[in-house]
């Protein structure tokens, strides 16, 4: 069975600082992994996805994530935080033949001026 753990329900960084949001997964099969972002009162927008090609995946808005099989991790990073990055971020793993998503609990990213 697949599962996702996101460390930290809230992460606070200063504008311009490095953003690091942690995600660890458990999967009995090679996983597909995703990061989604949800801005207040909006839907779920795909940031990036890992589908067994390059282990370093680049996404939208300057975000990237690295798949590390040995650590079962897929942490999301951005070199320099911007105020507009304030949102909730969800890590998810794809399971089953229908590619249903198993979600982490989410991490709310707070950007301090």
How many Cβ atoms from other residues are within 10 Å of residue 75's Cβ? Answer: 19
Rounded to a whole number of angstroms, the minimum distance from the CB of residue 51 to other proteins is 6
Segment near other proteins (CB under 8 A); pick from 19-27, 62-70, 78-86, 99-107: 99-107
Asked whether position 99 contacts other proteins by CB under 8 A, the answer is: yes
Q: Find all residues with CB under 8 Å of 102, minimum gap 6, and list them.
A: 2, 3, 4, 92, 93, 94, 95
Rounded to a whole number of angstroms, the minimum distance from the CB of residue 77 to other proteins is 20
70 vs 97, which CB is nearer to other proteins?
97
Angstrom CA distances, 14 to 50, 62, 64, 95, 96, stand at 28, 16, 19, 35, 39
Select from 12, 14, 26, 51 the one that contacts other proteins (CB under 8 A): 51
50 in Cβ contact with 59 (< 8 Å): no
* Residue of 91, 92, 89, 94 lying closest to 108 (CA atoms): 89
Segment near other proteins (CB under 8 A); pick from 14-22, 29-37, 61-69, 74-82: 29-37
Asked whether position 96 contacts other proteins by CB under 8 A, the answer is: yes
- Binding residues (CB under 8 A) for other proteins: these are 32, 34, 36, 42-46, 49, 51, 90, 92, 94, 96-106
């Amino acid at each position: 069975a697949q599962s996702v753990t996101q460390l930290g329900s809230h992460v606070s960084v200063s504008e311009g600082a490095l953003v690091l949001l942690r995600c660890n997964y458990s999967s009995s099969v090679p996983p597909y992994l995703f990061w989604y972002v949800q801005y207040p009162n909006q839907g779920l927008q795909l940031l990036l996805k890992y589908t067994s090609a390059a282990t370093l995946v680049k996404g939208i808005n300057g975000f990237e994530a690295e798949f590390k099989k040995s650590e079962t991790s897929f942490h999301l990073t951005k070199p320099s935080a911007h105020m507009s990055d304030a949102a909730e971020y969800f890590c998810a793993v794809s399971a089953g033949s229908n590619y249903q998503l198993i979600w982490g609990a989410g991490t709310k990213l707070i950007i301090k001026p």
